[in-house]
Chains A and B, each alone.
Chain A
Amino acid sequence: MPDPRRIRILVAKPGLDGHDRGAKVVARGLRDAGMEVIYTGLRQTPAMIVNAALQEDVDCIGLSILSGAHNAIVPELMEEMRKQHMEGVLVVLGGIVPESDIAELKKAGVAAVFPPGSRMSEIADFIRAHVPERPALVS
């Protein structure tokens, strides 16, 4: 059987916050876990993130938000994804998110929220288990 295509993930830092330690550590960790990682850099709008995700044909978008702007950013991102028919792309979120917001974020379509202290292996395993099956590339 040919090797399945490597999982491609876009690690994105939306909003105005510049604290990118978590995003960068996760990007490097997922790369070490065998995934192809594209990091957007700072201050991306939801439209910019969705556009990059389309261009890069990713399986998963990982958002890093510590500023409390998730309630504004996530619904807008989901709306942009719907417009682009990207329902099959997994969305996960890491950062500082109040417990009381998590249910609403999941209803909006976020598959998982990883709080501070999450292990890299836990994040990588979750993504592997939840990205939709894609046809293997045969070269």
Chain B
Amino acid sequence: MASTTHPPKQAEFTTISGVPVERVYTRADLPEGFDFKREVGEPGEPPYVRGIHETGYRGRLWTMRQFSGFATPEETNERYRYLLAQGQTGLSVAFDLPTLMGYDSDHAMAAGEVGKCGVAIDSIEDMERLFQGIRLEDVTTSMTINSPAAPIWAMFLVAAERQGADWKRVSGTLQNDILKEYIAQKEYIFPPAPSMRLVVDTIEFGARETPKFNPVSISGYHIREAGSTALQELAFTLRDGLEYVDWTLRRGLAIDDFAPRLSFFFNAHSDFFEEIAKYRAARKLWYRELTEHYGAKNPRSAKLRFHTQTAGVSLTAQQPYNNLTRVALQALAAVLGGTQSLHTNSLDEALALPTEEAVTLALRTQQIIAYETGVANTVDPLGGSWFVEKGTLEMENGARDYFRRIDEMGGMVAAVEQGFPQREIADASYRYQQALENGEKFMVGVNRFVTEEQPVPTLYIDETARQSQSAKLQALRQRRSSDAVQRNLSELRKVAATPSGNTMPAMLDCVRASCTLGEICDTLREVFGSYTETAIT
């Protein structure tokens, strides 16, 4: 543009991930001969870019699922009942770090960590306390647990069994995505290969016993939180999903036996259109891979369903009330991208776990989008926008490039062992930090419009959770039959050492005999060993 009264204020405009953005988009931005019907289609039709359901949210709104857990199972149970009473439609369990790492609350490594970032679960009795008065047949439950996913799921299933529930009717999701732990969140216990085997055990068990339960939620959320770009989140997450498919096929299952129950979990960051393009591309890529490469015949196998959480990393400790606005816009992007389930972060989460007031506001944000804005009345309202379609295409092509590079390395497990995704993410995260420092990117309240701070009320968790959990563990150990504990743990040890065996039945028996999470994970540590990463900076 040669002459204008308002020349561009920057030399280059880019997305939050650093992808160039043009002044305006026209039909010329799509490739010549772009076949809209084939490349985009209609809602409910392949390649599902516009959504997996013909009626979108007209038929059914997304599940409003706030991730929650703190202190003891008793205290978290109260929060769950409160959230359900406020209109939340699904539960989502946050576990504390000792639980995520397979340690009992009285383990030396658990000092200072019990109940801090989630709820402490040591035994079947804690799992029963967590869901006291909540019928597991009536509510869907998502559990954010990875390395110890199999024993935690066993505890959940035994708790349901003791409520008299039919496993065939219990629905929910296990995160159980170990690959992203090595890539991003780093709460791993065992080396990659035995970890993958445990994931396959749960997929196989679920296909047989729990037809309404999603055994894996393949998670880009943490990859993004670790500093990846939107494209890296998309590419690594879907490639992780394909890796689970490969390993499960090798166990001998047919693709349509388990693919319909694989689900996904994405981040909703602040760059509105980039996020929407990411979700639309994800559906298309999954459809194409599952049908063209794996020969899935059941249409449900190739329909990518996903949960979304707004970006924790985008929240600021400075001017925390601004986070409410950030979350609302991110949630809107997730809805316009067609999410099946949504968690909106609370405004105080850069400071602490949320207070009841803050989490209620976060839930109300979803309800306002659903019931007041009208955006749920039509499916994929941004479809056909040249900018959005171009962005979707760029995401697809970029992800395919990453797939090729990872395949050349021998697959995702090999790529992780070589540190490839870890390095890509660390580089992207450092580039973004530099862009913030040198003022190329703005963060309101951090490097723009900075003001004096007004403190907000925050939730404070003290050390009583550890004392309470330790006392319960001591009582449990005295009460249970130590013969039954030893017998069941040694049975588990035997199955774990047999690579073709499925550990789930033995795990369920251990849980029924009141073995603790720490004891079960120690038994698996003996057989599988522990993993230590080579630190990359």
Contact = CB atoms under 8 A, between A and B. Distances in A.
A28 B430 CA distance: 8
Interface string A109-122: 00000011101110
A16 B181 contact: no
A115 to B, nearest CB: 5
Task: Name the residue among A11, A21, A69, A120 with the largest chain B CB count within 10 angstroms.
Answer: A21
A101 B375 CA distance: 43
B171 interface: no
Given A15-B97, A16-B109, A20-B186, A27 B537 contact: yes
B360 interface: no
B316 A116 contact: yes
Contact of A71 (B112, B227, B429): B112
Contacts of A121: 437
Interface string B343-371: 00000001110000000000000000000
A27 B426 CA distance: 11
A41 B461 contact: no
Interface string A7-49: 0000100011111110011011101000001011111010000
A24 B426 contact: yes
What range describes how many residues of B lie at the interface? 35 or more
Contact of B113 (A11, A16, A19): A16
A74 to B, nearest CB: 9
A99 interface: yes
Given A25-B429, A68-B117, A39 B535 contact: yes
A122 B445 CA distance: 16
Contacts of A31: 537
Given A25-B430, A42-B535, A71-B112, A120 B97 contact: no
Given A96-B351, A98-B352, A117 B117 contact: no
A73 interface: yes
Nearest to B352: A98
B187 interface: yes
Contacts of A21: 225-227, 313, 429
A72 B111 contact: yes
A25 B443 CA distance: 17
Nearest to A66: B117
Contact of A67 (B97, B429, B534, B536): B97
Contacts, number: 113
B100 interface: yes
Contacts of B532: 41
A117 B100 CA distance: 27
A39 to B, nearest CB: 5
Given A25-B430, A100-B460, A116-B317, A42 B533 contact: yes
B534 to A, nearest CB: 8
B429 A68 contact: no
A75 B462 CA distance: 16
A16 B535 contact: no
Interface residues of A, number: 38
A45 B103 CA distance: 15
B2 to A, nearest CB: 39
Nearest to A16: B97
B317 A41 contact: no
B97 A17 contact: yes
A117 B443 contact: yes
Nearest to B107: A16
Given A20-B186, A21-B429, A67 B116 contact: yes
A19 B446 CA distance: 21
Interface in A41-85: 41-43, 45, 67-73
A19 B535 contact: no
A15 B463 CA distance: 15
Contacts of B429: 21, 24-25
Nearest to A20: B186
Given A21-B227, A25-B430, A121-B437, A68 B113 contact: yes
B112 A68 contact: yes
Nearest to A18: B186
Contacts of A45: 109
Contacts of A71: 112, 463
B537 A28 contact: yes
Contacts of A72: 111-113, 463
Given A28-B430, A96-B352, A117-B443, A15 B113 contact: yes
Contacts of A24: 426, 429-430, 536-537
Nearest to B227: A21
Contacts of A29: 430, 433
A16 B113 CA distance: 8
B346 to A, nearest CB: 14
Task: Name the residue among A31, A41, A70 with the largest chain B CB count within 10 angstroms.
Answer: A41
A16 B226 contact: no
A115 B458 contact: no
Given A16-B110, A21-B429, A43-B109, 15 more contacts: A15-B97, A18-B186, A18-B187, A19-B225, A24-B429, A25-B430, A31-B537, A39-B535, A40-B535, A67-B113, A68-B461, A69-B111, A70-B112, A73-B112, A116-B350
List the 10 closest pairs (A to B, CB-CB), nearest first. Answer: A72-B112, A18-B186, A41-B535, A69-B112, A68-B116, A16-B97, A27-B537, A117-B446, A39-B537, A116-B317
22 contacts: A16-B113, A19-B185, A20-B186, A21-B429, A24-B426, A24-B536, A25-B430, A29-B430, A37-B537, A40-B535, A41-B534, A67-B97, A67-B112, A67-B113, A68-B116, A68-B352, A69-B116, A72-B463, A96-B351, A96-B352, A116-B316, A120-B437
Interface of A: 11, 15-21, 24-25, 27-29, 31, 37, 39-43, 45, 67-73, 96, 98-100, 115-117, 119-121
Interface of B: 97-98, 100-101, 103, 109-113, 116-117, 181, 185-188, 225-227, 313, 316-318, 350-352, 426, 429-430, 433, 437, 443, 445-447, 455, 458, 460-461, 463, 532-537
